[in-house]
């Protein structure tokens, strides 16, 4: 049995010479004729091989066996023939994951000739209380059950990697007739273990229940007969409708047929004996869904299941498993039903996301929408609303070709209310679709899991047919659409055993699998890297240098390992070095062929560049500061932005990020793994990659340049373009090295998070950001913890103190001004209002402040001033009665404004007041009104004050706009962050506010009594863009 070392392996490094690194793992058993491990080399790119659906590296797989969670790792065992592509001589294969998504092949767990009996399907549990008495070491026993015509027990004392046979393979349970597929469960109510096993006697198909206190000795409790209940049973408790006081038990068979009922500790009674189905496909052994099991010992009482997805394969593999789904029990049409949705961990696979806002669609508009969008491995989330009485058919065609060919279509028919041919009623006139599209696998989810279908589809049927099309026959409203490109789960690494859930890749050298480890060869530096990131962590391994001169473990590396820290065993000098590119090392003695235990520890959220260590702010830490006098600012002093300066010496210092950097650090964990890293030959020298920077803290000297990144919401909106240009102008005067970054669009939090991580990695001293939403808050905190100063512009974050200071418009006041003006212009007429907001799927301060300010200015009672759309739809405003027709999202874009206005007009064509979040959305709203012949009768109000917006007021397309001053925000932000970075104090917020108010003015040529305003001539002198 191999020794296990508590550890968390990180990057492996070898260099200059022929090098081999391997983690020695041993094998699950030895049969001379069976070369069980490692499997033949594969890149997982065979035709139809799923890129995010688990399949064995080689050979045949079928039923899921004993899925469980232990000590930070998910274990997936499965029926397996490692020696062929058909069912034969069942083994238990084994794979592990730290995140339920990225699976790593492990050695065989149960093997004929080593473990007795028919090693057919079964379940397993973690004996956390050691009631079995089988514990031998630090790990809790993992006990699994298998066998036919009687149940045998196997157990692991090393965390689930190798198994011993209990009591010589004696069958501890022998049901009548033919029997197989035991599954063990825990009964919390009675504090006992239960076992359910299928048999065909007495009385035909059914299951026998047994109970035990020690997992070894079992007593027959009862039998449940049902003609439909054939093999591979599972039995799991689930709270009904999320109520922990109302727990039901779900009994299912291999085909995913199930009943819901009561378990009294010895017997099961179904509430309704007629079975339902987890998965709405034709299920049988070998079909696209069969023999699913739920994981045991999961944290937070989650119910997660995987199943065998048969009938597909390639040159070296046959069969895969469905993507893990989380199950919940809800009341549907008056009876409990199990709903399934992909586990949230799928989000870790998303590499790129495209979204589309709400709009009306017909056939031609739908067909054009997804032009150029790849559909190789994607997740699609869409919601549609059926409007009017005319039936519509709509959905997605996948794997499309130029001649109209498609590999599969997923269509909802509103007339029959079916999705992909399966009944799925509309909910409030809407239907949600969620599709997982892989190379040969398609999984369909409808209305948050009320429909679940797993299919095999040959998406490789045509070379290059990785396209898809949104299909509509009739008219339908698209409420939302997101297409997420999904990364592959295969990291190219199998025999290296670690607890890292990220992706392994070879940066340099040639790395290959070897029995019990990973082996590299290189004529220079060789690094094998993992994309996992972490904060405080420890990782360790036993390193043995067999030949050559060096081996190492690397941490806090950047993507190409040009910057890193490395714990290096240098046999030439007989020392262990803590090495980074540059001249400084910390030495300890070492010698060749001696096993050396390395255990690097890293604290804090430092950057990838170890040459620039960061200061962390924490308890007891005080920054050196200087008094900063708040500069008075007045909007009338802001001049229109000058064009790029051409004179010599007037160069704006700026950079623009066009991509991201992969950070390589390592996740803290208590997980163990087998370790003994052996290196056959290497040379790792201090001068391999160089940096002589001593590093320092984030405080700059009086004359020092300050590195700052400005991150705007996007680079399209004229407001943010003006802000970027204004920041560039002042950056040179303030000796600021300015980097420009932005989200792909308004609301793109991921793009901003990447830009923040880039700023940290680059060792910059400050960030100016217009936050796209609360999703960026953790990254802002990470930046501040890493020693960067952060100032927000335009959009105060929530909470406000997550940044050092915010320079912004009082957006509530801006909304109030245009609301007061609109109410005055109506002169007591009824107000029929359209509210064109920023988002409807996230809460952003600029969004709710402007909306709620507008309503308050109109004299309409608001409810929650941080939430749009919760005010009364009808009532009185300051001048008369009102009706709010719609709250529609625009994304702050012109096309979003047009679509939002079109949607509102379909609900009520008599709208006479339109509030818009900004001037681009106002332009789109005007275009929609003009197309409908209603533009002359509607008051449009907005916020921005850009030059185009002021001109729109002058031309009568917008009635009034609240002018804000992005150049002032940018210039004051750059000056303040430079001052703070050099030791000064941040400015203090304006009186009564939690931000520094840069001012606002109402621009209109139709002034209203009691509402202060300026005309478009003055507005043009102050405008931007």
Alpha-helix runs per DSSP H in 611-704: none
Annotated catalytic residue 63: yes
Containing H/E element for 904?
helix 894-907
> Rounded CA gap, 790 and 760, in Å?
11
CA distances for 691 relative to 96, 579, 585, 586, 660, angstroms = 38, 12, 13, 16, 22
SS3 851: helix
Task: Evaluate whether 40 touches 534 at the Cβ level (below 8 Å).
Answer: no
Containing H/E element for 760?
helix 749-761
DSSP track, 370-427 = TTT-B-SSEEEEEEEE--SSS--EEEEEEEE-TTS--SEEEEEETTTTEETTEE---B
SS3 700: coil
Inter-axis angle of helices 845-858 and 811-826, to 10 degrees?
30
- Please name the residue that has the structure tokens 């300026």: 1014
Inter-axis angle of helices 718-733 and 966-981, to 10 degrees?
40
CA 486 to chain centre: 10
What 162-167 contacts at long range (C-beta under 8 Å, 24+ apart), as own/partner pairs, is 162/1, 162/2, 162/26, 162/28, 162/29, 162/109, 163/28, 163/109, 163/110, 163/115, 165/115, 165/116, 166/134, 166/216
- Please name the residue that has the structure tokens 């059926």: 386
SS3 955: helix
DSSP track, 765-834 = SEEEE---SGGGHHHHHHHHHTT-EEEEESS--SSGGGSSEEEE--HHHHHHHHHHHHHHHHTT--EEEE
Marked catalytic residue, from 33, 47, 63, 748: 63
Q: Which two tokens stand for residue 914?
A: 């339109």
* DSSP code for 109: S
> Rounded CA gap, 229 and 466, in Å?
40
Q: Are strands 73-81 and 91-97 parallel, antiparallel or unpaired?
A: antiparallel
Phi, psi for residue 60 in degrees, rounded to 5: -95, 140
> Rounded CA gap, 888 and 834, in Å?
8
> Rounded CA gap, 793 and 807, in Å?
5
> Rounded CA gap, 106 and 96, in Å?
7
CA 669 to chain centre: 20
Which residues, in sequence order, are bridge partners of residue 664?
Answer: 557
Phi, psi for residue 639 in degrees, rounded to 5: -95, 160
Q: Which two tokens stand for residue 831?
A: 């107000």
> Rounded CA gap, 371 and 363, in Å?
14
Instruction: Just list the catalytic residues.
Output: 63
């Amino acid at each position: 049995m191999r020794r296990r070392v508590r550890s968390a392996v990180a990057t492996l490094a070898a260099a200059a010479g022929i090098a081999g690194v391997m983690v020695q793992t041993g094998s699950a058993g030895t049969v001379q004729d069976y070369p069980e491990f490692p499997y033949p080399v594969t890149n997982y790119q065979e035709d139809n091989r799923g890129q995010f659906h688990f399949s064995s590296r080689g050979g045949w797989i079928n039923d899921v066996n004993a899925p469980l969670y232990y000590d930070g790792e998910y274990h997936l065992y499965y029926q397996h023939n490692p020696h062929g592509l058909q069912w034969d001589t069942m083994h238990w294969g084994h794979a592990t994951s730290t995140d339920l998504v990225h699976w790593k092949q492990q050695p065989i767990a149960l093997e004929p000739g080593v473990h007795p009996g028919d090693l057919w399907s079964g379940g397993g549990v973690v004996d956390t209380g050691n009631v079995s008495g089988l514990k031998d070491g630090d790990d809790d026993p993992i006990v699994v059950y298998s066998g036919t015509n009687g149940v045998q027990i196997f157990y692991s004392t090393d965390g689930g990697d190798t198994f011993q046979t209990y009591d010589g393979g004696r069958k501890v349970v022998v049901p009548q007739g033919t029997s197989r597929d035991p599954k063990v469960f825990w009964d919390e109510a009675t504090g006992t273990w239960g076992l359910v096993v299928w048999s065909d006697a007495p009385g035909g198909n059914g299951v026998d229940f047994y109970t035990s206190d020690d997992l070894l000795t079992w007593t027959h409790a009862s039998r449940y007969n049902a003609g439909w209940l054939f093999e591979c049973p599972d039995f799991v408790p689930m709270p009904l409708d999320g109520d922990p006081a109302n727990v039901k038990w779900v009994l299912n068979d291999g085909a995913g047929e199930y009943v819901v009922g009561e378990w009294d500790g010895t017997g099961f009674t179904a509430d309704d004996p007629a079975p339902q189905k987890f998965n709405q496909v034709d299920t049988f052994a070998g079909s696209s869904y069969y023999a699913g099991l739920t994981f045991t010992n999961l944290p937070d009482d989650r119910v997660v299941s995987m199943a065998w997805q048969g009938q597909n394969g390639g040159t070296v593999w046959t069969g895969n498993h469905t993507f893990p789904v989380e199950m919940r029990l809800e009341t549907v049409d008056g009876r409990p039903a199990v709903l399934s949705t992909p586990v949230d961990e799928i989000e870790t696979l998303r590499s790129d996301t495209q979204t589309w806002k709400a709009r009306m669609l017909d056939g031609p508009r739908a067909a054009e929408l997804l032009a150029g969008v790849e559909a190789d491995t994607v997740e699609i989330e869409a919601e549609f609303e059926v409007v009017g009485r005319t039936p519509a058919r709509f959905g997605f065609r996948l794997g499309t070709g130029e001649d109209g060919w498609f590999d599969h279509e997923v269509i909802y028919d509103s007339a029959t209310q079916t999705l992909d041919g399966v009944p799925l009623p509309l909910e409030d006139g809407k239907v949600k679709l969620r599709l997982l599209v892989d190379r040969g696998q398609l999984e369909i989810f409808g209305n948050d899991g009320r429909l679940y279908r797993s299919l095999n589809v040959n998406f490789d049927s045509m070379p290059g047919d990785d396209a898809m099309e949104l299909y509509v026959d009739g008219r339908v409203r698209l409420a939302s659409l997101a297409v997420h490109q999904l990364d592959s789960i295969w990291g190219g690494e199998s025999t290296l055993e670690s607890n890292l859930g990220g992706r392994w890749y070879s940066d340099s050298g040639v790395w290959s699998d070897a029995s019990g480890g990973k082996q590299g060869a290189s004529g220079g530096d060789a690094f094998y890297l993992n994309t996992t990131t972490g904060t405080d962590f420890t990782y360790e391994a036993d390193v043995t240098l067999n030949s050559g001169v060096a081996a190492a473990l690397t941490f806090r590396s950047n993507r190409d390992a040009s910057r890193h820290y490395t714990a290096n065993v240098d046999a030439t000098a007989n020392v262990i070095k803590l090495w980074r590119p540059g001249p400084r090392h910390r030495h300890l003695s070492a010698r060749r062929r001696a096993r050396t235990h390395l255990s690097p520890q890293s604290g804090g959220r430092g950057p990838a560049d170890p040459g620039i260590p960061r200061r962390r702010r924490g308890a007891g830490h005080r920054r050196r500061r200087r008094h900063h006098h708040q500069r008075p600012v007045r909007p009338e002093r802001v001049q229109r932005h000058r064009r790029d300066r051409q004179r010599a010496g007037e160069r704006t210092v700026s950079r623009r990020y066009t991509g991201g950097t992969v950070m390589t650090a390592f996740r803290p964990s208590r997980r163990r793994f087998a370790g003994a890293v052996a290196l056959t030959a290497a040379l790792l020298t201090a001068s391999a990659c160089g940096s002589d920077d001593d590093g320092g803290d984030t405080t700059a000297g009086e004359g020092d340049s300050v590195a700052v990144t400005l991150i705007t919401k996007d680079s399209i909106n004229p407001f943010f373009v003006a802000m970027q240009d204004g920041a560039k102008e002042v950056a040179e005067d303030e000796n600021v090295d300015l980097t420009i970054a932005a989200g792909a669009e308004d609301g793109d939090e991921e793009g901003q998070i990447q830009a923040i991580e880039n700023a940290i990695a680059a060792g910059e001293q400050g960030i100016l950001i217009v936050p796209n939403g609360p999703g960026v808050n953790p990254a802002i905190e990470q930046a501040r913890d890493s020693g960067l100063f952060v100032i927000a512009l335009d959009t105060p974050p929530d909470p406000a103190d997550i940044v050092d200071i915010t320079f912004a418009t009082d957006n509530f006041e801006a909304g109030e001004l245009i609301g007061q003006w609109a109410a005055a212009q109506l002169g007591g007429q009824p107000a029929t209002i359209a509210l064109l907001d920023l988002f409807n799927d996230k809460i952003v301060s600029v969004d709710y402040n402007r909306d709620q300010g507008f309503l308050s200015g109109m004299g309409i009672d608001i409810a929650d001033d941080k939430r749009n759309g919760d005010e009364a739809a009808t009532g009185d405003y300051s001048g008369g009665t009102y009706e709010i027709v719609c709250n529609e999202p625009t994304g702050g874009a012109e096309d979003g404004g047009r679509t939002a206005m079109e949607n509102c007009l379909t609900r009520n064509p008599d709208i006479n007041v339109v509030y818009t979040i900004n001037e681009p959305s106002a332009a789109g709203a005007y275009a929609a009104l003009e197309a409908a012949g209603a533009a002359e009768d509607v008051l449009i109000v907005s916020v921005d004050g850009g030059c185009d917006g002021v001109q729109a007021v002058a031309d009568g397309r917008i009635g009034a706009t609240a002018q804000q001053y992005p150049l002032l925000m940018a210039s004051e932000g750059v000056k303040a962050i430079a001052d703070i970075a050099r030791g000064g104090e941040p400015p203090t917020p304006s009186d009564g506010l939690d931000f520094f108010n840069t001012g606002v003015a109402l621009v209109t040529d139709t002034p209203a009594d009691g509402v202060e305003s300026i005309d478009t001539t003055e507005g043009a002198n102050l405008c931007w863009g």
